[in-house]
Structure 1
Amino acid sequence: MINLNEKYFLASWNNRKNKPSDFGLKTVADKDYYIDKNNLKWKSEYLWENLWEQEQGFVRFPEPNFNELWTLLTDSNIENNKLGAAELLNRNYPFELKEKLKDLFKKTTKIDRSQTKRLGLLEVLTNVTNHSKVHQVNPEKVNADYQEWKNLKSKFDKLKTESLWKRIKKL
Protein backbone atom coordinates (compact mmCIF):
# COMPACT_ATOMS: atom_id res chain seq x y z
CA MET A 1 0.00 0.00 0.00
CA ILE A 2 1.35 3.42 -0.97
CA ASN A 3 1.74 6.09 1.70
CA LEU A 4 1.47 9.45 -0.05
CA ASN A 5 3.57 11.11 2.67
CA GLU A 6 6.60 8.88 2.08
CA LYS A 7 9.28 9.13 -0.60
CA TYR A 8 9.50 6.42 -3.23
CA PHE A 9 12.09 8.14 -5.44
CA LEU A 10 15.32 9.91 -4.55
CA ALA A 11 17.17 12.08 -7.05
CA SER A 12 18.75 15.48 -7.24
CA TRP A 13 18.84 18.02 -10.04
CA ASN A 14 21.74 18.45 -12.48
CA ASN A 15 23.51 15.45 -10.95
CA ARG A 16 24.43 17.38 -7.81
CA LYS A 17 23.94 14.15 -5.86
CA ASN A 18 24.52 10.76 -7.38
CA LYS A 19 26.18 8.54 -4.76
CA PRO A 20 24.09 6.50 -2.34
CA SER A 21 25.71 8.27 0.61
CA ASP A 22 24.53 11.63 -0.79
CA PHE A 23 21.00 10.44 -0.01
CA GLY A 24 21.76 8.84 3.35
CA LEU A 25 21.83 5.34 1.86
CA LYS A 26 24.26 2.63 2.92
CA THR A 27 25.74 -0.12 0.79
CA VAL A 28 24.78 -3.69 1.68
CA ALA A 29 27.54 -6.23 1.06
CA ASP A 30 26.88 -8.57 -1.89
CA LYS A 31 23.48 -7.01 -2.62
CA ASP A 32 22.29 -4.85 -5.50
CA TYR A 33 20.35 -2.50 -3.26
CA TYR A 34 21.02 0.06 -0.55
CA ILE A 35 19.29 0.72 2.76
CA ASP A 36 18.27 3.92 4.49
CA LYS A 37 18.13 4.71 8.23
CA ASN A 38 14.72 2.96 8.45
CA ASN A 39 16.08 -0.19 6.75
CA LEU A 40 14.04 0.46 3.63
CA LYS A 41 15.61 -0.91 0.44
CA TRP A 42 16.48 1.29 -2.55
CA LYS A 43 17.80 0.34 -5.98
CA SER A 44 19.87 2.56 -8.24
CA GLU A 45 18.09 3.71 -11.38
CA TYR A 46 18.33 6.36 -14.06
CA LEU A 47 15.25 8.49 -13.64
CA TRP A 48 14.03 11.53 -15.55
CA GLU A 49 16.02 13.47 -18.10
CA ASN A 50 17.50 16.74 -17.00
CA LEU A 51 18.45 18.85 -20.00
CA TRP A 52 21.14 16.75 -21.66
CA GLU A 53 21.42 13.65 -19.46
CA GLN A 54 19.39 11.30 -17.31
CA GLU A 55 19.36 11.92 -13.60
CA GLN A 56 20.85 9.13 -11.48
CA GLY A 57 18.55 8.32 -8.59
CA PHE A 58 17.04 5.60 -6.45
CA VAL A 59 13.69 3.81 -6.42
CA ARG A 60 12.31 2.29 -3.23
CA PHE A 61 11.94 -1.49 -3.15
CA PRO A 62 9.67 -3.14 -3.92
CA GLU A 63 9.19 -0.94 -6.95
CA PRO A 64 5.64 0.45 -7.07
CA ASN A 65 3.29 -1.28 -9.50
CA PHE A 66 1.14 0.48 -12.11
CA ASN A 67 -1.72 1.41 -9.77
CA GLU A 68 0.66 2.62 -7.07
CA LEU A 69 2.58 4.73 -9.59
CA TRP A 70 -0.69 6.22 -10.87
CA THR A 71 -1.63 7.11 -7.28
CA LEU A 72 1.76 8.74 -6.69
CA LEU A 73 1.44 10.74 -9.91
CA THR A 74 -2.10 11.92 -9.32
CA ASP A 75 -2.20 12.30 -5.52
CA SER A 76 1.26 12.73 -3.98
CA ASN A 77 2.52 16.18 -3.04
CA ILE A 78 6.15 15.05 -3.09
CA GLU A 79 7.73 16.32 -6.32
CA ASN A 80 10.14 13.39 -6.75
CA ASN A 81 7.23 10.96 -6.34
CA LYS A 82 5.32 12.67 -9.15
CA LEU A 83 8.36 12.83 -11.45
CA GLY A 84 9.51 9.29 -10.70
CA ALA A 85 6.01 7.86 -11.09
CA ALA A 86 5.58 9.60 -14.45
CA GLU A 87 8.93 8.27 -15.66
CA LEU A 88 8.22 4.66 -14.68
CA LEU A 89 4.67 4.78 -16.05
CA ASN A 90 6.03 6.01 -19.40
CA ARG A 91 8.85 3.50 -19.47
CA ASN A 92 7.39 0.33 -17.94
CA TYR A 93 3.63 0.46 -18.44
CA PRO A 94 2.76 1.99 -21.83
CA PHE A 95 -0.16 -0.36 -22.55
CA GLU A 96 -1.74 0.05 -19.11
CA LEU A 97 -1.16 3.80 -19.25
CA LYS A 98 -2.81 4.07 -22.66
CA GLU A 99 -5.89 2.22 -21.39
CA LYS A 100 -6.05 4.30 -18.19
CA LEU A 101 -5.82 7.56 -20.13
CA LYS A 102 -8.44 6.45 -22.67
CA ASP A 103 -10.82 5.62 -19.83
CA LEU A 104 -10.07 8.85 -17.96
CA PHE A 105 -10.57 11.05 -21.02
CA LYS A 106 -13.82 9.26 -21.89
CA LYS A 107 -15.25 10.11 -18.45
CA THR A 108 -13.89 13.65 -18.16
CA THR A 109 -15.13 16.94 -19.59
CA LYS A 110 -12.32 19.10 -18.14
CA ILE A 111 -9.09 18.34 -16.29
CA ASP A 112 -8.43 20.78 -13.46
CA ARG A 113 -5.17 22.74 -13.28
CA SER A 114 -3.58 20.51 -10.62
CA GLN A 115 -4.21 17.30 -12.58
CA THR A 116 -3.21 19.02 -15.83
CA LYS A 117 0.21 19.74 -14.32
CA ARG A 118 0.54 16.20 -13.00
CA LEU A 119 -0.55 14.48 -16.22
CA GLY A 120 1.65 16.90 -18.14
CA LEU A 121 4.63 15.12 -16.58
CA LEU A 122 3.79 12.08 -18.72
CA GLU A 123 5.92 12.14 -21.82
CA VAL A 124 3.17 10.27 -23.65
CA LEU A 125 0.99 13.40 -23.38
CA THR A 126 3.64 15.95 -24.30
CA ASN A 127 5.32 14.32 -27.31
CA VAL A 128 3.51 12.45 -30.03
CA THR A 129 5.42 9.22 -30.34
CA ASN A 130 4.41 5.60 -30.30
CA HIS A 131 5.10 4.36 -26.80
CA SER A 132 3.82 0.87 -27.54
CA LYS A 133 6.13 -2.00 -28.33
CA VAL A 134 7.18 -2.03 -31.99
CA HIS A 135 9.75 -4.84 -32.16
CA GLN A 136 8.44 -7.60 -34.46
CA VAL A 137 5.07 -5.84 -34.81
CA ASN A 138 3.59 -5.33 -38.27
CA PRO A 139 3.67 -1.77 -39.64
CA GLU A 140 -0.14 -1.44 -39.67
CA LYS A 141 -0.30 -2.17 -35.93
CA VAL A 142 2.58 0.24 -35.23
CA ASN A 143 0.76 2.97 -37.16
CA ALA A 144 -2.54 2.22 -35.40
CA ASP A 145 -0.80 2.48 -32.02
CA TYR A 146 0.82 5.76 -33.06
CA GLN A 147 -2.59 7.14 -34.05
CA GLU A 148 -4.00 6.13 -30.64
CA TRP A 149 -1.17 7.96 -28.83
CA LYS A 150 -1.65 10.98 -31.08
CA ASN A 151 -5.37 10.96 -30.33
CA LEU A 152 -4.70 10.76 -26.57
CA LYS A 153 -2.42 13.79 -26.73
CA SER A 154 -5.03 15.68 -28.71
CA LYS A 155 -7.75 14.80 -26.18
CA PHE A 156 -5.48 15.85 -23.32
CA ASP A 157 -4.80 19.17 -25.04
CA LYS A 158 -8.56 19.77 -25.35
CA LEU A 159 -9.38 18.74 -21.76
CA LYS A 160 -6.49 20.34 -19.89
CA THR A 161 -6.74 23.59 -18.00
CA GLU A 162 -3.91 25.95 -18.90
CA SER A 163 -2.47 28.56 -16.63
CA LEU A 164 -3.73 32.11 -17.01
CA TRP A 165 -0.28 33.20 -18.23
CA LYS A 166 -0.35 30.70 -21.13
CA ARG A 167 -3.84 31.82 -22.15
CA ILE A 168 -2.73 35.49 -22.15
CA LYS A 169 0.33 34.69 -24.29
CA LYS A 170 -1.94 33.12 -26.94
CA LEU A 171 -3.95 36.33 -27.36
Structure 2
Amino acid sequence: MKATGIVRRIDDLGRVVIPKEIRRTMRIREGDPLEIYTSSNGEVVFKKYSPIGELSAFATQYADVLCKMVNMPAIVCDRDHVIAVAGMPKKEVLERRVSPALEEAMMSRKTYICHAEDEEKLKPIEGIDRYSIVCAPIVSSGDLGGAVLFVSDNIQTDPDETVIKLAQAAAMFLGKQIES
Protein backbone atom coordinates (compact mmCIF):
# COMPACT_ATOMS: atom_id res chain seq x y z
CA MET A 1 0.00 0.00 0.00
CA LYS A 2 1.06 3.55 -0.68
CA ALA A 3 0.77 6.24 1.99
CA THR A 4 -0.97 9.41 0.84
CA GLY A 5 -0.21 11.64 3.82
CA ILE A 6 -3.90 12.55 4.02
CA VAL A 7 -5.60 12.15 7.39
CA ARG A 8 -9.38 12.25 7.87
CA ARG A 9 -11.46 11.98 11.02
CA ILE A 10 -14.54 9.81 11.40
CA ASP A 11 -17.66 11.85 12.13
CA ASP A 12 -20.28 11.03 14.77
CA LEU A 13 -22.18 8.82 12.28
CA GLY A 14 -19.09 6.72 11.49
CA ARG A 15 -18.45 8.33 8.09
CA VAL A 16 -15.13 9.23 6.59
CA VAL A 17 -14.63 11.35 3.47
CA ILE A 18 -12.43 9.93 0.73
CA PRO A 19 -10.51 12.92 -0.68
CA LYS A 20 -11.40 14.11 -4.17
CA GLU A 21 -7.87 13.50 -5.49
CA ILE A 22 -8.02 9.83 -4.45
CA ARG A 23 -11.55 9.40 -5.83
CA ARG A 24 -10.45 10.88 -9.16
CA THR A 25 -7.25 8.80 -9.35
CA MET A 26 -9.05 5.58 -8.43
CA ARG A 27 -12.11 6.46 -10.56
CA ILE A 28 -14.47 6.22 -7.61
CA ARG A 29 -17.75 7.90 -8.50
CA GLU A 30 -20.70 8.87 -6.35
CA GLY A 31 -22.78 5.76 -5.71
CA ASP A 32 -19.97 3.27 -6.50
CA PRO A 33 -20.02 0.24 -4.21
CA LEU A 34 -16.91 -0.35 -2.08
CA GLU A 35 -15.86 -3.56 -0.33
CA ILE A 36 -14.35 -3.16 3.12
CA TYR A 37 -11.53 -5.43 4.26
CA THR A 38 -9.72 -5.51 7.60
CA SER A 39 -6.39 -7.05 8.54
CA SER A 40 -5.07 -8.41 11.80
CA ASN A 41 -2.68 -5.46 12.16
CA GLY A 42 -5.49 -2.87 12.23
CA GLU A 43 -5.69 -1.87 8.57
CA VAL A 44 -9.02 -1.03 6.97
CA VAL A 45 -8.96 -1.25 3.19
CA PHE A 46 -11.63 -0.01 0.80
CA LYS A 47 -11.72 -1.69 -2.59
CA LYS A 48 -14.00 -0.85 -5.50
CA TYR A 49 -16.54 -3.60 -5.89
CA SER A 50 -17.14 -4.88 -9.40
CA PRO A 51 -20.21 -7.11 -9.81
CA ILE A 52 -18.99 -8.18 -13.26
CA GLY A 53 -15.59 -8.93 -11.73
CA GLU A 54 -17.28 -11.65 -9.68
CA LEU A 55 -18.05 -13.37 -12.98
CA SER A 56 -14.51 -13.12 -14.42
CA ALA A 57 -14.04 -16.88 -14.92
CA PHE A 58 -17.43 -17.13 -16.59
CA ALA A 59 -16.78 -13.95 -18.63
CA THR A 60 -13.45 -15.41 -19.82
CA GLN A 61 -15.21 -18.49 -21.16
CA TYR A 62 -17.86 -16.33 -22.79
CA ALA A 63 -15.20 -14.10 -24.44
CA ASP A 64 -13.47 -17.23 -25.76
CA VAL A 65 -16.69 -18.47 -27.38
CA LEU A 66 -17.41 -15.03 -28.87
CA CYS A 67 -13.89 -14.80 -30.27
CA LYS A 68 -14.18 -18.22 -31.92
CA MET A 69 -17.59 -17.41 -33.39
CA VAL A 70 -16.53 -14.21 -35.17
CA ASN A 71 -12.76 -14.80 -35.43
CA MET A 72 -12.10 -11.47 -33.74
CA PRO A 73 -10.69 -10.53 -30.30
CA ALA A 74 -13.39 -10.19 -27.64
CA ILE A 75 -13.07 -8.24 -24.39
CA VAL A 76 -15.29 -8.01 -21.32
CA CYS A 77 -14.63 -5.14 -18.95
CA ASP A 78 -16.18 -3.61 -15.88
CA ARG A 79 -16.44 0.17 -15.67
CA ASP A 80 -12.71 0.51 -14.99
CA HIS A 81 -10.67 -2.50 -16.11
CA VAL A 82 -10.51 -5.41 -18.52
CA ILE A 83 -11.68 -8.55 -16.71
CA ALA A 84 -11.73 -11.06 -19.59
CA VAL A 85 -10.10 -11.30 -23.01
CA ALA A 86 -9.86 -13.84 -25.83
CA GLY A 87 -7.99 -13.60 -29.11
CA MET A 88 -5.23 -11.37 -27.71
CA PRO A 89 -2.34 -12.01 -25.30
CA LYS A 90 -3.94 -11.96 -21.84
CA LYS A 91 -0.83 -10.56 -20.14
CA GLU A 92 -0.97 -7.46 -22.36
CA VAL A 93 -4.63 -6.69 -21.81
CA LEU A 94 -6.00 -8.18 -18.57
CA GLU A 95 -6.44 -5.68 -15.73
CA ARG A 96 -5.62 -2.70 -17.98
CA ARG A 97 -7.69 0.41 -17.50
CA VAL A 98 -10.42 1.30 -19.93
CA SER A 99 -9.93 4.55 -21.81
CA PRO A 100 -11.93 7.69 -21.02
CA ALA A 101 -13.47 7.32 -24.51
CA LEU A 102 -14.76 3.84 -23.64
CA GLU A 103 -16.05 5.10 -20.29
CA GLU A 104 -18.01 7.75 -22.15
CA ALA A 105 -19.36 5.20 -24.65
CA MET A 106 -20.48 2.93 -21.79
CA MET A 107 -22.13 5.82 -19.95
CA SER A 108 -24.32 6.49 -23.00
CA ARG A 109 -25.78 3.00 -22.39
CA LYS A 110 -26.09 2.55 -26.15
CA THR A 111 -24.26 0.12 -28.39
CA TYR A 112 -21.27 1.79 -30.03
CA ILE A 113 -20.71 0.70 -33.64
CA CYS A 114 -17.61 1.81 -35.52
CA HIS A 115 -17.98 2.58 -39.19
CA ALA A 116 -15.02 2.28 -41.56
CA GLU A 117 -15.43 5.87 -42.73
CA ASP A 118 -15.37 7.31 -39.16
CA GLU A 119 -12.40 9.64 -38.83
CA GLU A 120 -12.07 9.17 -35.10
CA LYS A 121 -12.17 5.60 -33.87
CA LEU A 122 -12.70 4.44 -30.27
CA LYS A 123 -9.54 3.16 -28.56
CA PRO A 124 -11.06 1.19 -25.67
CA ILE A 125 -8.05 0.17 -23.59
CA GLU A 126 -5.24 2.42 -22.37
CA GLY A 127 -1.90 1.48 -23.91
CA ILE A 128 -3.34 -0.92 -26.52
CA ASP A 129 -3.37 0.04 -30.20
CA ARG A 130 -6.65 -1.56 -31.17
CA TYR A 131 -10.01 -0.05 -31.93
CA SER A 132 -13.47 -1.04 -30.80
CA ILE A 133 -15.62 -2.35 -33.63
CA VAL A 134 -18.67 -2.91 -31.43
CA CYS A 135 -19.15 -2.06 -27.76
CA ALA A 136 -22.33 -3.17 -25.98
CA PRO A 137 -22.91 -1.92 -22.41
CA ILE A 138 -23.65 -4.41 -19.64
CA VAL A 139 -26.62 -3.10 -17.65
CA SER A 140 -27.87 -4.88 -14.55
CA SER A 141 -30.89 -3.69 -12.55
CA GLY A 142 -30.51 -0.30 -14.19
CA ASP A 143 -26.84 0.03 -13.18
CA LEU A 144 -23.99 0.14 -15.67
CA GLY A 145 -21.67 -2.81 -15.01
CA GLY A 146 -19.26 -2.72 -17.92
CA ALA A 147 -19.18 -3.68 -21.59
CA VAL A 148 -18.61 -6.44 -24.10
CA LEU A 149 -16.56 -5.45 -27.11
CA PHE A 150 -14.95 -6.74 -30.25
CA VAL A 151 -11.69 -5.07 -31.25
CA SER A 152 -9.43 -4.85 -34.27
CA ASP A 153 -6.20 -3.11 -35.21
CA ASN A 154 -7.54 -2.37 -38.67
CA ILE A 155 -11.12 -1.36 -39.45
CA GLN A 156 -11.76 -1.59 -43.16
CA THR A 157 -15.44 -2.52 -43.23
CA ASP A 158 -18.45 -1.92 -41.05
CA PRO A 159 -19.32 -4.75 -38.63
CA ASP A 160 -22.07 -7.01 -39.84
CA GLU A 161 -25.34 -7.45 -38.00
CA THR A 162 -24.23 -10.79 -36.51
CA VAL A 163 -21.26 -9.23 -34.72
CA ILE A 164 -23.43 -6.42 -33.36
CA LYS A 165 -26.15 -8.80 -32.14
CA LEU A 166 -23.61 -11.17 -30.54
CA ALA A 167 -22.08 -8.32 -28.52
CA GLN A 168 -25.52 -7.10 -27.45
CA ALA A 169 -26.69 -10.60 -26.52
CA ALA A 170 -23.52 -11.25 -24.51
CA ALA A 171 -23.92 -7.94 -22.66
CA MET A 172 -27.57 -8.64 -21.88
CA PHE A 173 -26.77 -12.16 -20.71
CA LEU A 174 -23.94 -11.01 -18.41
CA GLY A 175 -26.24 -8.31 -17.04
CA LYS A 176 -28.81 -10.99 -16.17
CA GLN A 177 -26.09 -13.12 -14.54
CA ILE A 178 -25.17 -10.21 -12.27
CA GLU A 179 -28.81 -9.83 -11.24
CA SER A 180 -29.16 -13.48 -10.23
TM-score greater than 0.5 by the shorter chain: no
> Which of the five TM-score ranges fits, normalised by the shorter chain?
under 0.3
TM-score (normalizing by structure 2): 0.26
**Larger fraction in strand:** 2
TM-score (normalizing by structure 1): 0.27
